Amino acid sequence: MKNRPSKFLRGFKFAFRGLIHCINNERNMRFHTAVMLYVLVFSPFFTLSKTQYAILIATISSVICAEMLNTAAEELADLSAADYNPLARAAKDIAAGAVLVCAFFSVVVGIILLWQPDAFVRIYQFFLARPWWFALALAATALIAVYVAKGPLWIGRACAHWIGKARKR
């Protein structure tokens, strides 16, 4: 009998594959993950309670989940309607609208939680005292712009390679 990973572990592999599919194929997903990265990297400069961090993470998660569900709806609509179909278009528009609602309210939550002028001063002072960090942040921003615009297709290939190796063990 072959030594196969449990169904539970295979479920993680499939979920990870779906996440990678969204990142590789959806520019909006890459944009959302880039914004998430910036928010999480700069969040230590802000004074946030555990509850506020939980709200921030739940808000980020809702946008990522909505984008993934939107991608699933688009893929299913495209699969079911080879030609133009007004119902398929409506399903895609509704799913995109759900992402828009989540993204809009995430901005509102972000403003409520992160509008702390003293934190912006701390960020400015941090970079003023460490110009090499500012240069690194600028370089990272350029890489993130390429990531959002072009996509990280290498992630999918790397993960496929890693998953393939794991399967052979």
Tens-digit pLDDT profile for residues 125-150: 999 999 999 999 999 999 999 899 88
Report, as residue numbers or ranges, the catalytic residues. Answer: 67
Quote the CA–CA distance of 108 and 113 in Å, as a whole number: 9
Q: What is the pLDDT of residues 150-163, one digit of tens each?
A: 887 655 566 666 65
Residue 60 scores a pLDDT above 70: yes
Give long-range contacts, CB 8 A cutoff, 24+ apart: 120-126. Answer: 122/45, 123/42, 123/45, 126/45
For 17-46, give the DSSP string: HHHHHHHHH-HHHHHHHHHHHHHHHHGGGS
Q: What is the pLDDT of residues 34-58, one digit of tens each?
A: 999 999 999 999 999 999 999 999 9
Quote the CA–CA distance of 97 and 30 in Å, as a whole number: 18
Tokens 């998660």 sit at which residue? 61
Using only C-alpha atoms, the chain has a radius of gyration, in whole angstroms, of: 20
In 3D space, the residue among 124, 143, 144 whose CA is nearest the CA of residue 134 turns out to be: 124
Tokens for 34, please give them: 């880039």
Look at residue 169 and give its three-state secondary structure.
Answer: coil
Report the pLDDT averaged over residues 25-29. Answer: 93
Cα distances (Å, whole numbers) of residue 164 to 63, 160, 169:
30, 6, 9
Cα distance between the two ends of the chain: 14
Quote the CA–CA distance of 8 and 10 in Å, as a whole number: 5
